Every structure is written in structure tokens, then in C-alpha cells.
Amino acid sequence: MTVGSEDRLLGIGAAAQQAGVSERALRYYQQLGLLTPMCTSGGLRRYTEADLARVAHIRELQTLLGLNLDEIAAVLRAEDRVAEIKAAYHDHRTGAGERRELVRESLAIHATLRAQVQAKRAALDDFLADLDQRISRISDTLTELDADSAG
């Protein structure tokens, strides 16, 4: 499938640098089950591009939505579910009913998340409008001051 990707694995140091987080954070995420990098036979962690993307996703959920790591774990689990289902999509061993159930479940989780994001977006818009109003008032004050000094 992925043809051009050299699939170079990174050590935890390089991975941390790439992802813009600390090594400790990467180990911590793994400890909480948010991330499961490969290991060498010697037990050293090896990170793929997908792992880095996952870290970026984690950070986004953290800083953008303000979710804590437990909540993020839930979101990631839901996303993993979807991937899992996609993978097993044509696997005959998975019953259609079961698949439907799983899909519905992850759809529900995503919908919930979407609602959260929407709410946050609306609140942000309100805040922005308020801020703009303040700013324009301050600008007016400044204009008046300038007119004053000019008059």
C-alpha cells in the first residue's frame, strides 16, 4: 500500500523532537495507553510516522479542546475501533451485527466530540465578537485622543 514511504523508525529522542514534546511525555502517553510504539529486541522504543501523527493529534485534543489524557484516551479508542473495523471489514469471522454495533458506537463517540467542538466554536465566536467590540471602542478612544491633540 504505502509505496514511497521509507518507513524510517525514530528513537524516542528524535521522535520527541519531531513531535515537539518531551521524551518523558512520550513514555507517559504510552503508560496511559495513548500510544504503543514498536520496540527493538532490546526494548528500545521505535516510533513510526503514524505514531508522530498520533502524538500531534493528542496535543491538538489537549490544547484545542482542553481534554485531559483520560478523555483523549476515549477518543483515541473510538478512532482505533473504526480502524479496526475497517481492517476486519471483509473478514468473514466478524458478524455483520457486531460490526454494525461497533460502527454505531464509534459514530456516537465522534458525534459527541463533534458537538463539543461545535459548542466550543460557537463560544469562541461569541468571545471574538465581544473582543472586537472592545477593540473598536478602544480604537475610538484613540481616535478621539488624536483628534483632541490635533484640534
The residue type of 40 is T
6 in contact with DNA (CB under 7 A): no
Residues 131-150, mask of contacts with a copy of itself (x by CB under 8 A): xx-xx-xxx-xx--xx-xx-
99 in contact with DNA (CB under 7 A): no
Helix (H, G, I), strand (E, B) or coil at 46: strand
Q: Which stretch binds DNA (CB under 7 A): 8-16, 122-130, 131-139, 143-151?
A: 8-16
Asked if residues 59 and 18 have their Cβ atoms less than 8 Å apart, the reply is: no
83 in contact with DNA (CB under 7 A): no
- Return contacts of 23-32, CB within 8 angstroms, 24+ apart: 26/55, 29/55, 29/58, 29/69, 32/69, 32/70, 32/73
Q: Return the number of the residue (23 or 84) whose C-beta is nearest DNA.
A: 23
Residue 8's binding partner, choosing from a copy of itself, DNA, none, with beta-carbon cut-off 5 to 8 A by kind?
none
Q: Is 46 exposed, middle or buried (0-12, 13-18, 19+ CB in 10 A)?
A: middle
Which of residues 13, 74, 87, 100 is near a copy of itself by CB under 8 A? Answer: 100
Q: Which stretch binds DNA (CB under 7 A): 66-74, 88-96, 123-131, 132-140?
A: 66-74
